[in-house]
C-alpha cells in the first residue's frame, strides 16, 4: 500500500502528541517543551479537549489510560470510569422507563464523572514515581484559558451540532434542551467563538484544589446539587467515594510482539480477540476485499463474547482468559469462511470519544481515551458549574438477567479501549480512536497496516476504513465503506453476503484515530484528517 498521505507525517526526536483537535495537541506539545513527559503532555491535552471538543468529551465524562513508564519498564492501565449512583435502582428504572434507560436527561446522568480523577491519578504517578517537575496547575492552564477567553468553533463541532438539532431548540421545556442551550446554541457560533466562563471557574478550582476539590470539596457539593436539579440520582456521597483505579493491562501475542489493552469493564479483550483471530491469516498478502471481509468476520466472533460477558468485573465475573485463550481462538477461527459472511444478531454499542496519544524521547508513552458517551453526553449541565454530564450510564441494561444490568455502585460496560503494540516489552506503536462499536475494528485496521503491512502512522490512519454495525448511535448491521475503496471491493463484499453501503471518502462514521510510532531514531506521529486534530512534536 502507498505511503502517500493527505497530511504530512510528523517526524520528531524529543516528543510527540496526536489528538483530534489542534489546540489540544498544542497544549501537550507545550508541556513537552517545558520538560514534561508523555504523561504530563497527555493530561494537558485531555484537559484542553474537555474544553475545545465539548461535543465529544468533557469534565463530566470518563477516561481510560495505558501508560508505559520507560525507566521502570512498566505498563499500567488506569480506569477512571465512574460508578453508578448508590440510589440507582433497577426496578425503579424499569418501572419508569420500561426496557431501556433514556439516552438524555438527568436519569441518564447516573454515573460519577471520572475524568478529573484520571488526570489526577496520572499526575500523581508522573510527579511522585516518574519525578516530573511539572506542577498540576500548569497542566490545566491552556484548558482554563480556552474556556475563559473562547475558541473558534471547529468544523467537527459544527457538524455534530447541526446533526443534533433537538438538543438546541431553545423553545423546548425539558431539561435537556433548556440546560444545554445557553452554552452551545448554534446562534452563539455566529462569530466563530465559544466561551465557557462557568467551566473556566470550575477548572480553576480544580487547578487549585486537585481532585479533592471536584469530588469532595465545595465544587463537588455544587456539582451534586446541580445534578440533582436535572433529575440525576448522583449525590455528594457518590462523588466523595470515587477514585480512579490502577489495573494490570491485558496482553496478547501478535506477530512477534504483543498487543496490549485495558481490562473490563472496557471492551479491550474484544479488540485483542480480533487480532488473535486474524493472526491465523497472512494479512500482508491480502487484497482490500479479503482484509475487510476477514476483519469483519473476526469482529463478529469477538463481539459475540463481548456482548455475552462484558460488565463490571467487581460485580460479575468476566471470563477474559477464556475469551483470549489461544486454543479457543484457533477453534473459533475455523468459523470464519473466506467466501461468505456470517449472520449476526444482537444490539451494537455506541459512543463518541476522543483519543490522545503521546510519547517522549525516553520511551514513555500514553494511550488515553476520554468520553461523554453520546454526543454532548446526557445533554444536561450541572447547575452553574459549566460541567456537561455524561450519559455513560444509559448503556446499563434494564434486563434483570443481563450481566450488565443496572445496579448501585457499578461500572457499566464501556467501549473505551486505549491500546499499544509492544516489542521486547517496549512500545512500538501507540494507537487509539473514538467511535464506540468502531473502536476495535479501527484498531484492527491500524495494527494490520502498521504491523503487517509496514505503513507509517499517518498512512495507516488515513487509509480507507470500514465500519460493521453502528457508531454515533446509528442502529444498523450494514458494512459501511469509504468511497476511496475501489468499486470492485464493494462488489466483492456484496457477493459474499455483506450489506454494503458506500459512504463519503473521509467519513466521521469511521472514527477519529491517532497513532505514534516509537522508532530507534525518533518518533513518527499521525493524526486523522477526519477530525479537527493534528500530530505535533519537536
Kindly state the average pLDDT of the residues 490-495.
Answer: 97
In this predicted structure, the answer to whether residue 3 has a pLDDT above a threshold of 80 is no
Of 230 and 157, the structure prediction assigns the larger pLDDT to: 230
Query: What confidence tier does 343 reach under pLDDT thresholds 50, 70, 90?
Result: confident
pLDDT cut 90: percent of the chain above it = 81
Q: Which one from 353, 415, 442, 471 is the annotated catalytic residue?
A: 353
- Whether 99 is catalytic: no
Taking only the tens place, the pLDDT of each residue in 218-229 is 999 999 999 999
Residue pair 29/537 in contact (Cβ under 8 Å)? The answer is: yes
Give the residue from 323, 294, 293 showing the smallest Cα distance to 306. 323
Which pLDDT score, from 0 to 100, does residue 469 have? 83
Kindly state the average pLDDT of the residues 212-216.
Answer: 98
Which pLDDT score, from 0 to 100, does residue 159 have? 83
Kindly state the average pLDDT of the residues 372-398.
Answer: 93
DSSP 379: S
Q: How far apart are the first and last CA of the chain?
A: 28
Which pLDDT score, from 0 to 100, does residue 172 have? 57
126, three cell numbers: 508522573
Which pLDDT score, from 0 to 100, does residue 158 have? 81
In this predicted structure, the answer to whether residue 499 has a pLDDT above a threshold of 70 is yes
Residues composing the chain = 538
Its pTM stands at 0.95
Kindly state the average pLDDT of the residues 52-77.
Answer: 95
In this predicted structure, the answer to whether residue 1 has a pLDDT above a threshold of 50 is no
Among 25-29, 343-347, 417-421, the range scoring the smallest mean pLDDT is: 343-347
Which pLDDT score, from 0 to 100, does residue 174 have? 66
Query: What confidence tier does 178 reach under pLDDT thresholds 50, 70, 90?
Result: low
Q: At 445, is the secondary structure helix, strand, or coil?
A: helix
Tell me what the pLDDT averaged over the chain comes to. 92
Taking only the tens place, the pLDDT of each residue in 79-126 is 999 999 999 999 999 999 999 999 999 999 999 999 999 999 999 999
Which pLDDT score, from 0 to 100, does residue 175 have? 64
User: Which residue has 436535572 as its cell numbers?
Assistant: 230
In this predicted structure, the answer to whether residue 346 has a pLDDT above a threshold of 70 is no
Classify each residue of 507-522 as buried b or exposed e, where b means 16 or more C-beta atoms within 10 Å of its C-beta: bbbbbbbbbbbbeeee
In this predicted structure, the answer to whether residue 209 has a pLDDT above a threshold of 50 is yes
Which pLDDT score, from 0 to 100, does residue 166 have? 78
Taking only the tens place, the pLDDT of each residue in 291-328 is 999 999 999 999 999 999 999 999 999 999 999 999 99
Q: Rounded distance, CA 216 to CA 239, Å? A: 7
Q: Cβ–Cβ contacts within 10 Å for residue 195, how many? A: 15
Kindly state the average pLDDT of the residues 430-443.
Answer: 87
Query: What confidence tier does 155 reach under pLDDT thresholds 50, 70, 90?
Result: confident
Which pLDDT score, from 0 to 100, does residue 292 have? 97
Provide the Cα torsion 468, 471, 473, 475; round to 10°.
Answer: 0
Kindly state the average pLDDT of the residues 469-493.
Answer: 84
In the chain the domains, ranked by start, together with CATH numbers, are: 10-246+353-395 (no CATH), 248-351+418-537 (1.10.246.130)
Residue pair 516/358 in contact (Cβ under 8 Å)? The answer is: yes
Which pLDDT score, from 0 to 100, does residue 437 have? 76
Amino acid at each position: 500500500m502507498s505511503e502517500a498521505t493527505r497530511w504530512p507525517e510528523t517526524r520528531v526526536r524529543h516528543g510527540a502528541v496526536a489528538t483530534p483537535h489542534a489546540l489540544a495537541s498544542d497544549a501537550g506539545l507545550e508541556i513537552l517543551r517545558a520538560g514534561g513527559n508523555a504523561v504530563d503532555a497527555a493530561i494537558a491535552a485531555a484537559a484542553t479537549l474537555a474544553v475545545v471538543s465539548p461535543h465529544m468529551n468533557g469534565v463530566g465524562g470518563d477516561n481510560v489510560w495505558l501508560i508505559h513508564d520507560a525507566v521502570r519498564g512498566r505498563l499500567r492501565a488506569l480506569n477512571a470510569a465512574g460508578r453508578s449512583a448508590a440510589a440507582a435502582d433497577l426496578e425503579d428504572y424499569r418501572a419508569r422507563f420500561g426496557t431501556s434507560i433514556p439516552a438524555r436527561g438527568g436519569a441518564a446522568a447516573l454515573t460519577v464523572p471520572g475524568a478529573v480523577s484520571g488526570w489526577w491519578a496520572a499526575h500523581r504517578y508522573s510527579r511522585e514515581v516518574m519525578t516530573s517537575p511539572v506542577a498540576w496547575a500548569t497542566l490545566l492552564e491552556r484548558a482554563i484559558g480556552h474556556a475563559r477567553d473562547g475558541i473558534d468553533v471547529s468544523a467537527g463541532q459544527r457538524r455534530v451540532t447541526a446533526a443534533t438539532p433537538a438538543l438546541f431548540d431553545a423553545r423546548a421545556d425539558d431539561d435537556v434542551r433548556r440546560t444545554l442551550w445557553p452554552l452551545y446554541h448554534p446562534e452563539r457560533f455566529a462569530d466563530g467563538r465559544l466561551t465557557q466562563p462557568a467551566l473556566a471557574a470550575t477548572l480553576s478550582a480544580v487547578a487549585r484544589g486537585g481532585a479533592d476539590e471536584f469530588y469532595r470539596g465545595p465544587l463537588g457539593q455544587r456539582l451534586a446539587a446541580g445534578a440533582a436539579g436535572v433529575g440525576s440520582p448522583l449525590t455528594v456521597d457518590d462523588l466523595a467515594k470515587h477514585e480512579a483505579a490502577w489495573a494490570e493491562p491485558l496482553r496478547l501475542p501478535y506477530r512477534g510482539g504483543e498487543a496490549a489493552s485495558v481490562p473490563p469493564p472496557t471492551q479491550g479483550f474484544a479488540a485483542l480477540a480480533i487480532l488473535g483471530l486474524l493472526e491465523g491469516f497472512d494479512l500482508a498478502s491480502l487484497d482490500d476485499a479479503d482484509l475487510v471481509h476477514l476483519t469483519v468476520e473476526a469482529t463478529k466472533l469477538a463481539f459475540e463474547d463481548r456482548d455475552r460477558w462484558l460488565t463490571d468485573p467487581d460485580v460479575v465475573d468476566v471470563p477474559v482468559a477464556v475469551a483470549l485463550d489461544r486454543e479457543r481462538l484457533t477453534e473459533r477461527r475455523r468459523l470464519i469462511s473466506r467466501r461468505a459472511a456470517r449472520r449476526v444478531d444482537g444490539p451494537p454499542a455506541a459512543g463518541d470519544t476522543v483519543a490522545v496519544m503521546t510519547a517522549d524521547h525516553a520511551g514513555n508513552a500514553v494511550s488515553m481515551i476520554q468520553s461523554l458517551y453520546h454526543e454532548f453526553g446526557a445533554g444536561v449541565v450541572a447547575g452553574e458549574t459549566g460541567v456537561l454530564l455524561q450519559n455513560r450510564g444509559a448503556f446499563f441494561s434494564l434486563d434483570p438477567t443481563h450481566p450488565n444490568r443496572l445496579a448501585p455502585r457499578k461500572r457499566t460496560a464501556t467501549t473505551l479501549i486505549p491500546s499499544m503494540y509492544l516489542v521486547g516489552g517496549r512500545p512500538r506503536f501507540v494507537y487509539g480512536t473514538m467511535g464506540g462499536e468502531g473502536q476495535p475494528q479501527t484498531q484492527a485496521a491500524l495494527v494490520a497496516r502498521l504491523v503487517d503491512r509496514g505503513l507509517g502512522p499517518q498512512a495507516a490512519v488515513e487509509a480507507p476504513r470500514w465500519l460493521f454495525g453502528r457508531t454515533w448511535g446509528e442502529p444498523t448491521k450494514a458494512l459501511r465503506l469509504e468511497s476511496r475503496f475501489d468499486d470492485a471491493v464493494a462488489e466483492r463484499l456484496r457477493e459474499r453476503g455483506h450489506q454494503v453501503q458506500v459512504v463519503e471518502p473521509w467519513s466521521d462514521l469511521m472514527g477519529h484515530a491517532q497513532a505514534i510510532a516509537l522508532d530507534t531514531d525518533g518518533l513518527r506521529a499521525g493524526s486523522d484528517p477526519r477530525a479537527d486534530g493534528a500530530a505535533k512534536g519537536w
